[in-house]
Amino acid sequence: MTESTARDTPTSPPVMAVSAGARTEHAQGIFAALDLGTNNCRLLVAAPTATGFRVVDSFSRIVRLGEGLAQTGRLADSAMERAATALQACADKLMRRPVRRFEAVATEACRRAANGRAFLARIAAETGLHLRVISAREEAELAMESCAPLLEPGDRRALLFDIGGGSTEIAWIRVPCAPGAPPELIGYLSLPLGVVTLAERAGQDCFTERGFCEVVEEVAAHLAEFDRIHRIGQEIRAGGVRLMGTSGTVTTLAGVAMALPRYRRPLVDGKTLDCGAADLALGDLFALGREGLAQHPCVGPERVEFVLPGCAVYAAIRRVWPTPRITVADRGLREGMLTRMMRAERGPRRRAR
């Protein structure tokens, strides 16, 4: 469906039945999660397995919903049109594949924008997709949920970061001793500094050593305050703390550190890297400049503006919390939502038995 058609036909077949969770026999076990972020719109459709879930279908598109938001406080018309087109494509996919349960969330851009909820109301009317604006805390919890399977015996704590488009989320996590017990969120920090907001504010500056270091200093100052509250550096020195990163920035660093000829998720997701190798990859990316980044197979022209701002945030995290290794996660809110929905479905069945 084209943009004009979507606007002109608000009564087009809705996916309300999908949102409520179609209970048909052929849809048993199919779940879907949608995440509308500041930079990307992502959909994941999956079926549960004994050890997790199997991806049935997916969708990802850069929509730059937060473009200009830092200056105006509102979602721009062009940004809303791009997001609406992507969301209509998601709705079309869901119409072809009814699911048992579906959840859709919106994050920082819709949290901050004065017209964010009005935009989501329009999306609901046009597509039948009902997106819920989640808090920064829930965002951190969902990221923790998705990355929990990457924790290993011997981990006492985990420090998880997610460098998003409009914000950076930090989760400080207690890992339980009891096998099978879920991790606990001790504290979280949400900085209104993401790759889109920093790219718009810093512009060309992140491509210079001085501008890059200024962003590192700014982010590090915020992180140091969080460290003083939770004494994370002290825990790291005591041992048993796993540093985990989930974002395009850290997966790109992993792809470069591993010298991949093109990005491949199965090779990156769950990979534990020596932080020295990741730091060297950061230096390689910075040295490439704009043209080199656009041609790099792990970056490309669509992400060239956002890589170095994200690397500056990563460098600040490394400065405040130096660890020998980092676990890279190519997973996030959608995987966390799917895990929660599937666990909720299994619960009643166990109680019934």
Residues 6+ apart with CB under 8 A from 278: 250, 253, 254, 257, 314, 326
Q: Do 128 and 170 have their domain in common?
A: no
Q: Do 233 and 290 have their domain in common?
A: yes
Q: Which of 134, 169, 197 is the last residue of a domain?
A: 134
Q: Do 115 and 168 have their domain in common?
A: no
Residue 3 above 70 pLDDT? no
Q: Do 159 and 126 have their domain in common?
A: no
* Count of helices and strands (H, E) across the chain: 15, 11
Whether 96 is in a domain gets the answer: yes
Whether 66 is in a domain gets the answer: yes
**What percentage of residues in the chain have a pLDDT greater than 70?**
90
Dist CA 38 CA 184 (whole Å): 27
Q: Do 157 and 121 have their domain in common?
A: no
Residues 6+ apart with CB under 8 A from 196: 38, 39, 64, 66, 67, 165, 166, 306
Cβ contact 162:247 at 8 Å: yes
Average the pLDDT over 209-225 and give the result.
Answer: 95
Q: Is 71 exposed, middle or buried (0-12, 13-18, 19+ CB in 10 A)?
A: exposed
For the chain, the domain total comes to 2
Domain range for 26: 3-134
* Two tokens, residue 250: 């850290």
Distances (CA, A) of 91 to 18, 33, 34, 59, 337: 9, 12, 10, 11, 18
pLDDT tens-digit readout, 50-76: 888 999 999 999 999 999 998 899 999
Specify which residues 106 forms β-bridges with. Answer: 36, 133
Cβ contact 144:173 at 8 Å: yes
Q: Can you give the CATH number for the domain in which 176 is found?
A: 3.30.420.150
CA quadruple 313, 257, 40, 28: dihedral sign: negative
Whether 112 is in a domain gets the answer: yes
Cβ contact 48:31 at 8 Å: yes
Q: Do 120 and 268 have their domain in common?
A: no
Q: Can you give the CATH number for the domain in which 20 is found?
A: 3.30.420.40
Q: Do 80 and 218 have their domain in common?
A: no
Whether 249 is in a domain gets the answer: yes
Q: Do 90 and 215 have their domain in common?
A: no
pLDDT tens-digit readout, 125-146: 999 999 999 999 999 999 999 9
Dist CA 342 CA 258 (whole Å): 33
**SS3 for 57?**
strand
Q: Do 21 and 48 have their domain in common?
A: yes
**SS3 for 162?**
strand
Instruction: Write the DSSP string, 87-122.
Output: HHHHHHHHHHS--SEEEEEE-HHHHH-TTHHHHHHH
**For tokens 């105006």, what's the residue?**
72
Whether 144 is in a domain gets the answer: no
Dist CA 46 CA 27 (whole Å): 11
| Per-chain mean pLDDT for the chain | 88
Residue 348 above 60 pLDDT? no
- Prediction pTM value: 0.85
Q: Do 107 and 170 have their domain in common?
A: no
Amino acid 347: pLDDT: 67
- Under the banding of pLDDT at 50, 70 and 90, the label for residue 204 is confident
* Two tokens, residue 239: 């041992």
Cβ contact 169:136 at 8 Å: yes
Dist CA 171 CA 185 (whole Å): 7
Whether 24 is in a domain gets the answer: yes
Dist CA 42 CA 22 (whole Å): 21
Q: Do 17 and 122 have their domain in common?
A: yes
- Under the banding of pLDDT at 50, 70 and 90, the label for residue 206 is confident
